[in-house]
Amino acid sequence: MLPSRSRLERWNPDSLAFTGQAVKDSGRAVAGAVTTMSNNIDTMPETRAWSGDAHAAASKMLGRAAEAASALAAYTKAVGAAFRDGAGTIGEARTALLNKADEIDTSGQLHVSDQWVVLITGAAMTAEQAAALERRAQAEQITVNGLLLAVGAADDDTAAAVTAAAKKHGFEAPDPTGLDNLLPGMPRPSDEVPSPAAATGLMQQAMLRDIDMSQTIRDTAVEVDGDTTTTTHTMQDGSKQVVTEDNEYRWDRGPTLRVTHYDNDGNFLSQTSTVTWKDSTTYSLRGATTTSTRLADGTLLESHRWPNGRTEAKVYTPDGREGDIPIEILSNPPTAIAGGALTGLERYVGQGGSIPGLSADALKNVGVGAKFAGPAVGIAETLFNVAGAQSAFERCVDTYTGAGSVAGGFAPLLVPGAGWITAGIMSIGGSQVVGAFGTFLGNQFCSR
């Protein structure tokens, strides 16, 4: 088993030595007690305490018991020795891995995650420095992987040694395909982290590093042009999230807050904006607050909230179709995704429910060293989690989790507690848009 870093820190290999000695001592104590009783029975005729046919039968019975107790002592001695040996090998491997992780952490420029992925620590840096640190992280990952596999081997070898010692004395391991494995604690524990022993595991590690770099800000630049303030956040991987606070006067609307996402080649990926309409605008939008998210393929999602609490969400496909999205789907927008990356979203709660919107206050917390996924990711993962659309993101999840090799699933992007709503409640256009947002997630986080 390959444990997570937090679990390995809680492991206490020395307890195996104590357990091994306790197992050995218990068997020896039983054997000693039965042997003493057998010897005492055997000497009774000499002391004229007891003799005859009944004594002979009792003596034979206790003789057999002494043999069984002796076999038990041999059993516990062998198993205890396997435990004690494992304490040493697991302890050495554990210490080496934890020491290496601590060494990387204390360097200040890199750190090791709970899944043993070497990441770049958030700080101000140039593109050249980020590239150099990425190469360092990849080199350190090779060392960490070797030490991690040594921990897994030590754990597996100890389990195998205990089982082998027990089998010599009649123990039968449960059938891995049998019903016994339905009982808690019976199945062999699976790896908690990507296994670097397989190509899939190495790809999973690289994907996690890619995700972290795409969400960690290395540089922030602010430009003020009249009533418009533009803040450009450059990520470790070179992609950018551009926040625009447009306070320029317009007759039909109030200030507009926008976040535009570009990849590391400067290609447009998404744009999310929030604006409140004035009474001078079109009648249907008077007083409404609108949040819209547009993807590079032309897919558009718009949600509106009016002062009286009425809410509405509509989607528009690149081919001109439109559909409705049940507002309940958007009722729990994440202010941060798992792993701590901010989205810049907040919840607007009214009589008719809640819709997501950009928040200037939330965006104030975004700066160099912070993790920022962007609002489009927040919207996309909300739709994905509640609708379960078939998309590139699902294929990404399948690749990431790879044949059950990682316990817990694709944690960095999942929203807890969203609840699944069947895609059947949406229009054809709505389902298509949800799929488009899932594809957006897949392209963002599973480009490998």
d(CA 248, CA 18): 73
424, two tokens: 């059947």
Say which amino acid occupies 139: A
CA distances (Å), origin 371, targets 223, 231, 266, 374: 21, 15, 20, 9
Maximum Cα–Cα distance across the chain: 119
Residue 140 has pLDDT above 90, yes or no: yes
- Secondary structure (DSSP) of 325-347: --GGGGSS--SB-TTS-B--EEE
CA distances (Å), origin 6, targets 120, 161, 345, 412: 19, 26, 30, 17
**pLDDT tens digit string along 292-325?**
999 998 989 999 989 888 888 888 888 888 888 7
**pLDDT at site 353:** 44
**pLDDT tens digit string along 105-132?**
999 999 999 999 999 999 999 999 999 9
- Residues in Cβ contact with 355 at an 8 Å cutoff, skipping those fewer than 6 apart: 291, 303, 304, 305, 311, 313, 327, 330, 331, 333, 347, 348
110: left (phi over 0), alpha (psi -120 to 50) or beta: beta
Q: Which residue bears the tokens 């062999």?
A: 188
Q: Which pTM does this prediction carry?
A: 0.79
- Mean pLDDT (the chain) is 82
The 3-class secondary structure across 251-319, one letter per residue, is: CCEEEEEEEEEECCCCCEEEEEEEEEECCCCCHHHCCCEEEEEEECCCCEEEEEECCCCCEEEEEECCC
| For the ranges 58-62, 89-93, 177-181, 373-377, the one whose mean pLDDT is highest | 89-93
Spatial contact of 81 and 158, defined as CB atoms under 8 Å apart:
no
Domain coordinates of the chain in residue numbers?
5-185, 220-445
Residue 416 has pLDDT above 50, yes or no: no
| Sign of the torsion formed by the C-alpha atoms of 376, 379, 382 and 388 | negative
| Sign of the torsion formed by the C-alpha atoms of 115, 119, 122 and 127 | negative
Going by C-alpha positions, the residue among 293, 259, 258 that lies closest to residue 381 is: 293
**pLDDT at site 331:** 65
Order of strands, edge to edge, in the sheet holding 289-295?
A: 217-225, 228-235, 240-246, 253-262, 268-277, 289-295, 300-305, 311-316, 322-324
In the three-class reduction of DSSP (H, G, I as helix; E, B as strand; rest coil), residue 37 is classed as: helix
**pLDDT tens digit string along 253-296?**
999 999 999 999 999 999 999 999 999 998 889 999 999 999 99
pLDDT class of 420 with cuts at 50, 70, 90: very low
Going by C-alpha positions, the residue among 264, 341, 303 that lies closest to residue 433 is: 303
**pLDDT at site 347:** 57
